[in-house]
Structure 1
Amino acid sequence: MRPSARAVLSPRFLLWGRSKSSTRWNHGAATQQGRNSHGRNSSQWALAGLVTGFGGYALVSRLQSTQSDDANRVKYADNHAMIKGIKIIEETLGDHSVSWDKEEIQIHGYSELSTSNCQARPMAIVRPKTTEEVSFIARTCSAYKIPMIPFAGGSSVEGHFVAPYSGLSVDFSQMNKIISIHPDDMDVVVQPGVNWVDLNNTLKSSGLFLPLDPSPTALIGGMVATNCSGTNAVRYGTMKDWVVNLTVVLADGTVIKTRHRPRKTSAGYNLTSLFTGSEGTLGMITEITLKLATIPENQSVAVATFPSIRDAAATASKIMRTGIQMAALEMMDETQMKVINKNGGAGGRFWEEKPTLLFKFSGTLRAINEDVERVRAITSQNGGGNFELAKNEEEMHSLWAARKESLWAMLAQRPEGTQIWSTDVAVPLSRMAEIIDLSKKESSQLGLFSSVLGHVGDGNFHQAVMYNPDDPSQKQSVRDCVLAMVHRAVEMEGTVSGEHGIGLGKKECLLEELGPDTVGVMRTLKRSLDPHSLLNPGKIFD
């Protein structure tokens, strides 16, 4: 670890855990309260006090020292000006384009899947249908200095769509058209509101598919903005590997297209990659061209249990180092398997309550059979038992159901009044077993529900803890556990986020991983494209 790394995160944190008032709709009231009650503008108010939950890694001392500079650099519209600007958008796009409904605003400003929430809420929600409408929204918001917060499927766990400065939630769910399919070129052009499961169902007859595999509720725009991945990443990579070009609306309403449609190019800067993973902070994505893969000729799934989580993780590393082309390699600890059984099982069955690896194979039948036997042998040599291979497609879906239903099973078992903290890190494969074992042991000592699962084929794992946000001792102990895992990942030359992104929740963690100079380059890019910090402000860095 760099000598200064711990100093970034250790002292004087804001209280973590959702406050009781964070579930109430605010209609931008926090912004106004910040001006009237404390003499601060909305930027200072939100930074000083609204960021709550485990996502609130921001330091009080750091915020206080930068508030005056931030206030001079970024000033947002007050409530009156926001309403005036949004009314212009509503009048131009039509009465049904903007919603002021309290329940809808609550959904667009708070997520029970995330600990990175805040008390402020968007002023309203707009649902554009075309790039031209998004451009008009951006021009109007730029003129009135109204923050714009892109919203896709709402499945983010790092607070990507919350609104710490109020503003306008730009919901892309109505931009849900598949614009064109080019089977001979193996690509497709879509709007950001297309659901990836629906897309693959449409593509099935062509023999092609988009191989990313995040939450089934995820929309393509959010998947690009967060550079998502999922269970298939070990074979197919992450979202950045499948994006050919993007149409993007900048903060001032300018519309750009990052490149043309060939699969390779050396023409200028790679703007496609710049916006992929930028979490809506540099531009709003309105059209995406995606590469497609051929649907595998055959697939199969197997599972195996292990005496310890370290044995399971070590086995996964050994399998990857042999060069076997796994389609997916997932791990679930014994707690996950217990939760699934308590929830009635998965795939029509109950499971052994032991650390479990789930393997997915694809290719020709001969190649699959060879890979299965190699994996079976490595598993047996490393203490694995009860190796079970699906005999048909029905059994394949049955075995894989345990992994796909894990999050929903945890939420179904969550005690009333508790909150789930879930985040991820990734490390080089050689350190994976060590960090998973240590993180599991530390979280098990909390006396709370804690569980480890992950995409162990590429060194990425998730940890979930349920805690009472109104209990200071629980918040403190879980906070310490979180920081220990993050510090350890950085020490191992890993990353503080393998696939969830930074959002509101991991800004100081990003600073620890990359250092102020690298983050400073990101800030420079942000200021160049969005000088008034109107696009998803408060995310990635303050």
Structure 2
Amino acid sequence: MEPDAVAFADTANEVSRITEACHRHNVPIIAFGAGTSVEDQVAAAQGGVCIDLSRMNNLVEIRPQDMLAVVEPGVTRKALNQALRDTGLFFPIDPGADASIGGMAATRASGTNAVRYGTMRDNVLALEVVLANGTIIRTGSRAQKSAAGYDLTGLFVGSEGTLGVITELTVKLYGIPEAVSVAVCPFPSLVQAVDAAIGIKQLGLSVARMELMDTVQMQASNAYSHLSHPLQPCLFFEFHGSPAHIAEQSEIAGSVCKDCGGTEFTAAEQAEERNRLWTARHDAYFAATALRPGAHAWPTDVCVPISQLARCIQETAEDLEKEGILAPICGHVGDGNFHALLLLDPEDADEMARAETVSARLVERAIAMGGTCTGEHGVGLGKMKYMPLEHGPALSAMAALKTALDPKGLLNPGKIIPHDYVVSIL
């Protein structure tokens, strides 16, 4: 699914002129950032013009006293943090890939730090957006909160380019912690590991990262990243704060892990060990694909209330084993989000059908538990079919918003809202 043309924009005014021309001639518009999304958010489902925003990569302003930065959408998260290195501040949202800030807002990205710092939804204060007809609007402000009118900023964050094209963002920044420590703890079972994560969360410990890897993922990561952790489900932790504070928090977390069956809570404070651990976590995708060279990798994610997390992961693991699907599981268990990476032979029709069944049951299971079809990957094309199941009549309200802001249906058409719902509103 390729666009008919690509337009490289350098300014918001250029985006406006391109969008206005497309609107006048009824041509679909697809905004493109770094292309790291996994649910076909930037696929040109109906052709049209792709607006490449990668050249809009200027840091407009950094305001250390206000703890915010104003950036163009093509700025990547690594570039932003590099620019912040002398300010004592950092931008915490870390989806793994070096995604563009604009794309991260459009897909409501999160990542390993979400348990402490939240997601893009929590960290975007204001936006500049080009609407379907080329009109440029600003939403929000540089204030930390507002009670003035509708939350338009929140509406555009997560809209995946279906309501407007983001051309500037004001994002929150945070102080670099005085001290950081990490820890790893293996468990005899997935359920015990998740129970420990729930216990730590319920105690309100100031964990910045709390990640789970199942046995299959640990096998893959040990081999790929040259680690030597036990081949058991493992929790990875990171603690931020003063040295005394993180020592106390780490000790309490270790006690919880021990009570839940954890076999050895190993802490490390050296930067080299921390970087090695989190590099391995970020390389989990590549490690997993190395388990079955040449396989098609199908990533999927769901998010459930933390009370349902152990059950959801366990039932998913059992389902994968029953269907004979190789799929390492890892996730941001601190906020109820986990991923399965299905490794498949695309030439094996039976295996692909079983994978489709497992994926559908995973989503249905999560929604039945009060969760969502996606915690951070977004909807795009891949999860759109589950939107009616998750949202029911509320999906018609979303379709009404889409129609109000994009009456011709030109902005990233065929994404998020199934066509039937848009038609029914019209």
Q: TM-score range, shorter-chain basis? A: over 0.9
Aligned-residue offset at 1:356: 0.6
**Structure-1 separation of matches of 2:132 and 2:178:** 45
* 1:402-432 superposed Cα distances (whole Å, 9 cap, x missing partner): 212111222344422x311111111111110
Match among 214, 220, 237 for residue 339 of structure 1: 220
Structure 1 regions of 5+ residues with no counterpart?
Answer: 1-119
- Select the residue among 434, 449, 460 that pairs with 2:326: 449
CA contact (8 A) 1:301 1:400 kept: no
1:58-77 paired onto structure 2 within 5 Å: none
Q: What are the within-5 Å matches in structure 2 for residues 471-482 of structure 1?
A: 471-482=348-359
> Unaligned 5+ residue runs, structure 2?
419-426
Matches within 5 A, 1:181-260: 181-260=62-141
Corresponding residue for residue 410 of structure 1: 288
- CA 1:341–1:259 in 2, change beyond 3 Å: closer, same or farther? closer
Contact 2:302 2:366 in 1 (8 A): yes
Out of 14, 34, 55, the residue aligned to residue 174 of structure 1 is 55
TM-score by length of 1: 0.76
Q: What letter corresponds to residue 531 of structure 1 in structure 2? A: P
Q: Are 2:268 and 1:390 aligned?
A: yes
How big is each residue's C-alpha offset from its partner over 1:297-338, in whole Å with a ceiling of 9 and x where there is no partner? 111100010111111111111111111111110000111111
Give the whole-Å Cα distance in 1 for the aligned partners of 2:292 and 2:166: 35
Q: Is 2:185 the partner of 1:304? A: yes
In the alignment, which residue of structure 2 is the partner of 1:533? 409
Structure 2 partner of 1:466:
343
Q: 1:277 aligns with which of 158, 161, 165?
A: 158
Matched AA of 1:419: H
The Cα shift of 1:396 comes to 1.8
Instruction: Report the secondary structure of 1:327's partner residue.
Output: strand
CA distance, structure 2, for counterparts of residue 473 and residue 172 of structure 1: 40
**8 A Cα contact 1:302 1:399, kept in partner:** no
2:384 aligned to 484, 490, 507, which one? 507
How far apart, CA to CA, are the structure 2 residues paired with 1:385 and 1:401? 23
CA distance in 1: counterparts of 2:144 and 2:194, whole angstroms: 35
Larger radius of gyration: 1
- 2:369 is equivalent to residue 488 of structure 1: no
CA-to-partner distance for each residue in 1:183-238, whole Å, 9 max, x for gaps?
A: 11111110000010110111021111111111232000000001110000000111
Is the contact made by 2:330 and 2:338 (CA closer than 8 Å) also made in structure 1? yes
Matched, 1:350 2:228: yes
- Partner of 1:521 in structure 2? 397
Distance 1:259 1:310 in 2: 42
Distance 1:307 1:521 in 2: 46
CA distance in 1, matches of 2:188, 2:291: 25
Compute the displacement of 1:262 (Å). 1.4
Q: Name the CA distance, whole Å, in 1 between partners of 2:53 and 2:407.
A: 24
Percent identical across equivalent pairs?
44
- Give the secondary structure class of the aligned counterpart of 1:200: helix
Aligned-pair RMSD on alpha carbons?
1.2
SS of equivalent to 1:399: helix
User: Structure 2 CA distance, aligned partners of 1:402 and 1:256?
Assistant: 41
Q: Could you say what secondary structure the match of 2:83 adopts?
A: helix
Counterpart residue number, 1:424: 301
Taking the aligned partners of 1:511 and 1:386, their CA distance within structure 2 comes to 44
TM-score normalised per structure 2: 0.96
Is the counterpart of residue 362 in structure 1 residue 240 in structure 2? yes
Tell me the distance in 2 between the aligned counterparts of 1:410 and 1:124: 35
Partner of 1:375: 253
Mapped to 2, the partners of 1:190 and 1:400 lie a distance apart of: 26
How many aligned residue pairs are there?
418
* Counterpart residue identity of residue 166, structure 1: G
Q: CA deviation at 1:162?
A: 0.6
